[in-house]
Structure 1
């Protein structure tokens, strides 16, 4: 992997960072999560680590996967970088704070992938419909390749339909939509994640992996 300015960039608009030293056997399912609006409260284009606040109920979900040896992978679109609102340095600081707050609740992420490509971007980041940008499944497939995952048994949690579509297109088993409604996308089951009973349903699914 080529690094730029010390950042783990696989290419100009793709961040791929292994954030734990855990070695997983091939064929494990994974828990994929969007970041902004799913793990932390969405503030638009987050660039200030001091403003990061975790969403209620998400740390126990991640911890449940940790306890069962299920890789936890963040897959996040970051068009603010493409648009020039902030750079990878600000992303790194915010992401570090997200991981720090999770760790304070005994929850840990194993890999982070971020896509900064966008049609309204600048320079090399000005790419429309890049395969790594959700709803395209590229980040999920890349994580699957790097960690030897069984995507067909994996789950995804997000706050946008683009997250669910990425999960469906990557061949995942099921998705949970924060603050959303239940639905199906091409046979892919999407459950709502709005209250304690929905969180418990997600926890049950994780425990059954």
Structure 2
């Protein structure tokens, strides 16, 4: 079964730069139909999120969990459900054991996506990722995903890997095209 991979901050919610207060979480409304479509057709919706604020000491796992809990509450109120949340706190500017810049789980590396594949038995060649950074797209490409949808990107392009296509996600038409793709993956 394919999946919908989603970055969190800047993709599902407005990026407030290292969010650590649940009260600051605001959903990006244009992403709600995308998640809802995945839910309706039975595709797992999975967050894969770098969280360097933990490594840098800006907040801890409990604050991350509280912010994530608020995000899940807001999504549930909009009839959207996430199936799995994976986060990587490793960063080169971190301290202690979290001081690792090129950790296999940290995007652009594909570790979180591959872990989700192993947990849920996913078909990566038919899966897609939505994110707001080049690292999200690169993680998707390295994991063997079919498509990447770049929030705010002004162009469509193929990477050097012809199997991975990066799409723009700016306008309402772009979001409708993404919802149609997800619906098609659920029927296949």
> Is residue 41–residue 54 contact of structure 1 (8 Å, CA) maintained in 2?
yes
2:147 is the alignment partner of 1:184: no
1:46-195 paired onto structure 2 within 5 Å: 46-181=19-154, 182-186=156-160, 187=162, 188-195=164-171
State the 1:168 CA deviation.
0.3
Q: TM-score, normalised by structure 2?
A: 0.95
Deviating above 6 A after TM superposition, structure 1's stretches of 4 or more consecutive aligned residues are: none
State the 1:92 CA deviation.
0.3
Distance 1:124 1:169 in 2: 25
> Is residue 165–residue 185 contact of structure 1 (8 Å, CA) maintained in 2?
no
State the 1:195 CA deviation.
1.2
Q: Deviations over 1:5-61 (max 9, x none)?
A: xxxxxxxxxxxxxxxxxxxxxxx1000000000000000100010010001211111
Secondary structure of the residue aligned to 2:20 is coil
Q: How many residues align?
A: 182
Q: TM-score, normalised by structure 1?
A: 0.86
State the 1:118 CA deviation.
0.5
Secondary structure of the residue aligned to 2:166 is strand
**Aligned Cα RMSD in Å?**
0.7
More helix by share: 2
Please, which runs of 5 or more residues in structure 2 have no aligned partner? none
Q: Deviations over 1:59-107 (max 9, x none)?
A: 1110100111101100000000000000001000000111111111100
